[in-house]
Structure 1
Amino acid sequence: MSSANSNTDKPLNLPQRPRRLRRNASLRKMVRETTLSVNDLIYPMFVMEGEGQKVEIPSMPGCYRFSLDLLLKEIAEVSQLGINAMPTAVNYALFPVIPENKKDDTGTESYNPEGLVQTTVKAIKKAVPEIIVITGVALDPFTTHGHDGLVDENGIILNDPTVEVLVKMALSQAAAGADFVAPSDMMDGRVGAIRQALDAEGYINVCILAYSAKYASAYYGPFRDALESAPKFGDKKTYQMDAANSQEALKEVELDIAEGADIIMVKPALAYLDIIHRVKKVTNLPVAAYNVSGEYAMIKAAAANGWIDEKQVILETLTSMKRAGADLILTYFAKEVALMLM
């Protein structure tokens, strides 16, 4: 067998041979353009009421709803693995599972200072103060109808009255100690209203991670199962974006930046890599991508059937999001990936 540096009897006249830089793992690593790091990851977690509860989500194998006591244990374990051991490592996004008896048509539980989210944030910041905690701002987990906004008698989602409630929700989360509030509702003007309210109340250092381009997607199914928050009627297409549109995403991003967003996000990620790429070209703000529940579930299902190499597909998928332009990735694979990258 000839060596890697040997010549053929009649070599082709090729001044450029790209394969030279692919010859071995060391060379490939040396010229690699995109690198996935634990610092790129945000870990979404689900919290529920009760004690001693850890309930696997059937459509999201390996993901759980935790009661607060076990959530804190999970965070401690993750921190021991080096995940989120300091603010530049994996950070946490919290999503609450609200009992039906605490839901109503207007989502009043969302801004209860002693509510599940607020209590959880306080406990996390007391236990591990150096981690970054991100709280979602949307009404669907808190409403009986499962929509992200208030609904009138004709089934119309009301924009401006919803924003008033979202402001109360964001303020209560900031008071509890959230580092970021993340409005995901897609109501017009909510980023600006939240920023003004936070500043007026002295929370000038609380950041806003805006779901700027959130599409009306079929990829959210497992997440809605996890939160038991699927809409009871209709769909979310009057406020979430049309999957066929890309120029509109730039408009939404421009508006959120003007209103005071600190980080902007595209959701979902995998089917919207072109949107991530376009958004990254028009802003200097950090761009986040949400590797959503449906994307997670597809990989888990294919791996369970032995159809793919799970580890390699996870890494390839997340790397594609970084390559498209994402600076941060919210992913349910965060813990697994951190272990892979150790």
Structure 2
Amino acid sequence: MAKQYNPSLVEKSWYVWWEKSGFFVADPHSSKPPFVIVLPPANVTGALHIGHALTTAIEDMIIRWKRMSGYNALWVPGIDHAGIATQVTVLYSSVFVVEKKLMRESGKTRHDIGRENFVFEVWKWKKQYGDTILLQHRLGASLDWFFECFTMDEKRSAVVTEAFVHLYKEVLIYRDLRLVNWDCILRTAISDIEVDYTDIKERSLLKVPGYDKPVEFGVLTSFAYPLEVGLGEIVVATTRVETMLGDTAIAVHPEDPRFKHLHEKFAIHPFNGRKLPIICDAILVDPNFETGAVKITPAHDANDFEVEKRHKLDFINITDDGNINSDGGSGFTGMPHFKAREAVIQALQKKKSSCKMH
């Protein structure tokens, strides 16, 4: 007898016999009461860990108990494509290697190889790690492998498409303008849950991908918008002064006596002459914070986006892939986002717009 138990040797031979004997197979024609559970499909971002083993062990006990209790029990195995997480993993592994090779041989980036070739790399990754995951699950888990699935396979993709078509026909989903979290390196939108937030309470220099020098954050920049003839100016404060290129309004609190005379008046954009309405918004504006006047950039701030919907303002997107586009003004077109910040401050100072950083 062996001195210690070796599960890989013992279970491997037993598992083959269990599968051949059909012990884990559910009978679609059975008169027994059905009981079905789905093994939470593991992400193909890597191999399984102890947390997966715990879930598998718990579900295995449940499904075996139900079989012994007279149920027609089905335990469905599968793996999940994991969306952006797999994309990131692939980009910084196999596709990153391809990108370096492409750059070295032809001067092309991964974006130049196109969607088809990228998807091919994802499927290669899925084959490598998906097979590893399924092999790990075969070590003892009483899954019905006839129903094995992948969340991006043809059947599952068809069901997802059908579901979205149904939701669209029922007007439960619709196309509309929405703000997204755009990743300038991945060049794709990512969900809120995939964003890491950093609370910055003071002036800080942080490294930003794509920039040689650290970028300054946590600084309020105040500047003055000229008003219509004879009305003087109105000062606003912002931590992202470059977004003023897309401003479409200035908001004040309706009860703030300092701005009563400006209700329904207009400010003038210093770079393009665009007329910005002075609007009253008690939801957004805190009259006790800074100047009490708030610049509104609906395309680049979640709160301002809500203001745009309440007041039906213009929506001007000034960036494409992290660079200022033509809607941001000819003097800034093509500039990377944070370099445009410096350029805007310099341009405001030349306009004598009372631009100050604090």
Q: TM-score, normalised by structure 1?
A: 0.24
Structure with the greater alpha carbon radius of gyration: 2
Q: Which has the higher contact order (CA 8 A, sep 6+)?
A: 1
